[in-house]
């Protein structure tokens, strides 16, 4: 039976959701055409209509991850330390959705390390994140809420701290439940205020 014209978009969304579920449960290492087809309840033949190669599938998965990350609601915060706190809390795996996103990001690092163009793209993403934190830290310093110092260096340390906390929370969620992550972040921010 021929498909109606609108079916292609609907099917692509279904495939996107299947890709997301595979990434969330298996990471990039488990992202295969067969795994996505199984998750979708379809054949690999149907899937190759959308993604002729695994590289096409991985490229699409990374684009999907970018889109979902960009569309994710962010905490609203005032100024100063509150804005720094909100930006850092947005990174942590404090909910099931944030845990899935972080699991996918961390598992994608292997792919990024193996691909020079992708590695450069990821380096740019993290640099933009540091730049945003740099601006927030500098504003908090101007308000007298954070101790003086090089705001770019403080932002780089804050990003490294929170990404390290992400990895620990993903690897040992029982030892790093959401409240402990928040408490550790509060301790870190308190140390910056001194």
Give the pLDDT of residue 117.
87
pLDDT for position 105: 87
Q: How does DSSP assign 35-99, residue by residue?
A: HHHHHHTS-HHHHHHH-SSHHHHHHHHHHHHHHHHHHS------SHHHHHHHHHHTTS--SHHHH
- Report the pLDDT value the prediction gives residue 3, as an integer from 0 to 100: 44
Does the predicted TM-score (pTM) go above 0.85?
A: no
What is d(CA 157, CA 61) in angstroms, rounded to the nearest whole number? 29
Q: Which residue has the tokens 């992400």?
A: 166
Consecutive sets of 10 residues in the chain, 194 residues long: mean pLDDT of each?
Answer: 56 82 86 90 87 80 78 80 96 92 88 89 93 97 96 98 98 98 98 89
Coil, strand or helix at 74: coil
Residue given tokens 């993604």 in the structure block: 51
Q: Where are the beta strands (DSSP E) in the chain?
A: none
Contact 86, 75 (CB under 8 A): yes
pLDDT for the residue 6: 55
Residues 6 or more apart from 172 whose CB is under 8 A from it? Answer: none
Is 106 within 8 Å of 167 (Cβ atoms)?
yes
Token pair in block for residue 179:
């409240």
Helix (H, G, I), strand (E, B) or coil at 78: coil
Q: Which helix (H) or strand (E) holds 189?
A: helix 178-193
Lookup result for tokens 């930006």: 87
Q: pLDDT tens digits, residue range 23-74?
A: 888 888 888 889 999 999 999 888 888 888 877 877 787 787 778 777 777 7
């Amino acid at each position: 039976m021929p498909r109606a014209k609108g079916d292609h978009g609907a099917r692509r969304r279904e495939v996107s959701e299947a890709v997301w579920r595979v990434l969330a449960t298996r990471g990039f290492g488990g992202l295969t055409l067969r795994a996505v087809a199984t998750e979708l309840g379809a054949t690999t033949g149907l899937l190759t209509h959308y993604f002729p190669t695994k590289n096409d599938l991985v490229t699409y998965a990374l684009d999907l991850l970018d889109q979902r990350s960009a569309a994710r609601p962010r905490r609203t915060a005032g100024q100063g330390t509150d804005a720094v706190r909100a930006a850092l809390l947005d990174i942590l795996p404090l909910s099931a959705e944030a845990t899935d996103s972080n699991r996918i990001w961390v598992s994608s690092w292997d792919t990024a390390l193996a691909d020079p163009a992708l590695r450069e793209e990821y380096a740019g993403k993290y640099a933009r994140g540091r730049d945003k934190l740099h601006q927030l830290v500098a504003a908090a310093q101007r308000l007298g809420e954070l101790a003086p110092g090089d705001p770019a260096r403080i932002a780089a340390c804050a990003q490294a701290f929170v990404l390290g906390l992400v990895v620990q929370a993903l690897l040992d969620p029982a030892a790093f439940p959401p409240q402990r992550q928040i408490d550790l972040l509060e301790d870190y921010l308190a140390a910056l205020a001194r």
